[in-house]
Amino acid sequence: MLFTRLLAASVVTAVSGVTVVPPSIWNYSYPWPVQYHSITSQQVNLSMAYMDVASTNTTSRNNNTIVLLHGRNFCGATWEDSARRLSAWGYRVVIPDQIGFCKSSKPPAYQFSLHQLAYNTQSLLQSLGIAKTKILGHSMGGMLGTRFALMYPNAASHLMLANPIGLEDWKSLGVPYRPIDLLYQDEQATTYTSIRNYQQATYYVNTWKPEYDVWVNMSLSLYQTPVENQVFMFDQARVVEAILTQPVVYEFPLVKARTLVLIGTKDNTAIGKGWSPPDVQKILGNYSVLGRQTADAIPGAALVEFEDLGHAPHIQDSERFHKALFSWLDKSDW
Ligand SMILES: *[C@@H]1O[C@H](CO)[C@@H](O)[C@H](O)[C@H]1NC(C)=O
Ligand SMILES: *[C@@H]1O[C@H](CO)[C@@H](O)[C@H](O)[C@H]1NC(C)=O
Ligand SMILES: *[C@@H]1O[C@H](CO)[C@@H](O)[C@H](O)[C@H]1NC(C)=O
Ligand SMILES: *[C@@H]1O[C@H](CO)[C@@H](O)[C@H](O)[C@H]1NC(C)=O
Ligand SMILES: *[C@@H]1O[C@H](CO)[C@@H](O)[C@H](O)[C@H]1NC(C)=O
Ligand SMILES: *[C@@H]1O[C@H](CO)[C@@H](O)[C@H](O)[C@H]1NC(C)=O
């Protein structure tokens, strides 16, 4: 009952069978103006938030666009550092928040799939007149970027994957199915400590610096936004279920984009590890193996490994990460 009321409260208008879910009320401040792309999807009018950062380099002949896809625990704002560097180099940088995340609409009833999120992203790019782009995705954003490149091979010229998830098919390795209702309960148990402990162990190789707290606080504030937080958590539960059940790993050989795989090999992220039996847990998320496997599977892909970094190499060692990224971009900028 409570949940039904919360869902109803998040839907503002109902006109002739079409409902409208407005942009998020979440008020975290972003480094550039936030714009909204309107889409009608699954019978609901939704707003997809994005930042569109112009190149600040007046001498560059590079007239390329790059799209930055956030991970599940991050938002568009987390890309600030990368976006500043890319726009200084000459890129137009487009940074969406996916539907169900961050500043975008949080639909109470939505069939989340990686295909749907890729489709939404392509709809945004079309509305901006972007026919071809480079894609950089982190974590879930890497899995989504791969799906995007598979669905729209003519739209994605280059694909850069920073510790993407989806490098193995967790369910085939023994991760049990977890129903959305239990995943929703998991989301409701989220606290500052649970976010921080998770990020410390997977993102930062069991180290901690005060500046990492920015992203814990950002994530936590989504779990604390009045009313909308319940829908957010339900959306996230359905996103986790989609990630678990919709592997991209089998389709790596079909990727046409020029690809760079950037891997902090101390990463151990695996969807479902927490609810798997110990013998399954042991074999999941071995990024020192998965990065190489992925680069071998994607035709022509290059691999850069950071042997001391975890799941967020662009944050843990920004200088080193971006040096590797730009070095590859310079060589493959055609
Ligand atoms: C939903 O969006 C469509 C397409 O932009 C628009 O024609 C329609 O009026 C919108 N519906 C509502 C209820 O706002
Ligand atoms: C954002 O909303 C919270 C309540 O959810 C409020 O405490 C805070 O002052 C707001 N911040 C800004 C910048 O508006
Ligand atoms: C701007 O672009 C030029 C040409 O690509 C490059 O040499 C220069 O370093 C760039 N400036 C900055 C601040 O990155
Ligand atoms: C850069 O791209 C914009 C938008 O696509 C286009 O209008 C402009 O002519 C391009 N500039 C160069 C130098 O190619
Ligand atoms: C994160 O939030 C805590 C608790 O509200 C606050 O004390 C701390 O200063 C924040 N840290 C950062 C880096 O924003
Ligand atoms: C990852 O796999 C390699 C090669 O099989 C192995 O040597 C290493 O111990 C594994 N790492 C973990 C954390 O299981």
- Model pLDDT for residues 315-326, shown as the tens digit of each residue: 999 999 999 999
Ligand 3 neighbour 63 (Cβ under 6 A): no
Identify residue 244 by its one-letter amino acid code: L
| Gap from CA of 310 to ligand 3 centroid (Å) | 30
Question: Do the beta carbons of residue 148 and residue 257 sit within 8 Å?
Answer: no
Residue 301 has pLDDT above 80, yes or no: yes
Residue 8 has pLDDT above 70, yes or no: no
| Gap from CA of 87 to ligand 3 centroid (Å) | 10
Instruction: Answer left, alpha or beta for residue 49, where phi above 0 means left and psi between -120 and 50 means alpha.
Output: beta
Q: Please report the pLDDT score of residue 14 as a whole number.
A: 46
Residues 21-70: tens digit of each pLDDT: 999 999 999 999 999 999 999 999 999 999 999 999 988 877 799 999 99
Ligand 3 neighbour 326 (Cβ under 6 A): no
Other Cβ atoms closer than 10 A to 252: 20
Q: Please report the pLDDT score of residue 18 as a whole number.
A: 59
Ligand 2 neighbour 27 (Cβ under 6 A): yes
Ligand 2 neighbour 30 (Cβ under 6 A): no
Taking alpha carbons only, the member of 223, 272, 241 closest to residue 106 is 223
Ligand 3 neighbour 90 (Cβ under 6 A): yes
Beta strand pairing status for 13-15 and 44-53?
Answer: unpaired
Protein residue whose Cα sits closest to atom 8 of ligand 5: 213
Q: Please report the pLDDT score of residue 58 as a whole number.
A: 87
Q: Please report the pLDDT score of residue 63 as a whole number.
A: 73
Residues 203-224: tens digit of each pLDDT: 999 999 999 999 999 999 999 9
Other Cβ atoms closer than 10 A to 19: 17
212 vs 194: CA distance, rounded Å: 14
Residues 106-135: tens digit of each pLDDT: 999 999 999 999 999 999 999 999 999 999
Residue 2 has pLDDT above 90, yes or no: no
Mean pLDDT of 276-294: 98
User: 289: which 2 tokens?
Assistant: 């193996």
| Gap from CA of 27 to ligand 2 centroid (Å) | 6
**CB-based contacts of 275, cutoff 8 Å, min separation 6:** 175, 176, 178
Q: Please report the pLDDT score of residue 15 as a whole number.
A: 43
Residue 271 has pLDDT above 70, yes or no: yes
- Secondary structure (3-state) at 305: strand
34 vs 21: CA distance, rounded Å: 17
Taking alpha carbons only, the member of 120, 114, 102, 96 closest to residue 46 is 120
Confidence of residue 9 (pLDDT cuts 50, 70, 90): low
Other Cβ atoms closer than 10 A to 57: 14
Looking at the CA of 228, name the nearest ligand.
2
Mean pLDDT of 271-283: 97
| pLDDT, the chain, mean | 95
Angle, vertex CA 237, rays to CA 233 and CA 242, nearest 5 = 145
Q: Please report the pLDDT score of residue 1 as a whole number.
A: 42
The least confident of 11-15, 67-71, 233-237 is 11-15
Residue 75 has pLDDT above 60, yes or no: yes
Whether the CA torsion 321, 323, 326, 330 is positive or negative: it is negative
Taking alpha carbons only, the member of 291, 295, 244, 287 closest to residue 267 is 287
Q: Give the rounded percent of residues in the chain with a pLDDT score beyond 70.
A: 94
Residues 177-197: tens digit of each pLDDT: 999 999 999 999 999 999 999
Angle, vertex CA 148, rays to CA 145 and CA 153, nearest 5 = 120
**CB-based contacts of 309, cutoff 8 Å, min separation 6:** 205, 264, 265, 266, 267, 316, 317, 320, 321
Looking at the CA of 47, name the nearest ligand.
1
Point out the ligand 2 atom lying closest to the alpha carbon of residue 29. Answer: 13
Mean pLDDT of 245-269: 98
Ligand 6 neighbour 286 (Cβ under 6 A): yes
Protein residue whose Cα sits closest to atom 5 of ligand 3: 60
Q: Please report the pLDDT score of residue 61 as a whole number.
A: 72
82 vs 34: CA distance, rounded Å: 17
Residue 3 has pLDDT above 60, yes or no: no
Q: Which of 191, 193, 213, 224 to mutate to test the pocket of ligand 5 (most atoms within 8 A of CB)?
A: 213
- Please give the C-alpha separations between residue 142 and each of 60, 68, 123, 262, in angstroms, as whole numbers: 27, 9, 18, 10
User: 156: which 2 tokens?
Assistant: 């994605």
**CB-based contacts of 92, cutoff 8 Å, min separation 6:** 52, 53, 54, 55, 64, 65, 66
**CB-based contacts of 81, cutoff 8 Å, min separation 6:** 314, 315, 318, 322
Q: What domains can be seen in the chain, in order of their start residue? A: 2-332 (3.40.50.1820)
Helices 228-245 & 180-188, crossing angle to 10 degrees?
130
Looking at the CA of 193, name the nearest ligand.
5
DSSP per position, 52-93:
EEPP--SS-----EEEEE--TT--GGGGHHHHHHHHHHT-EE
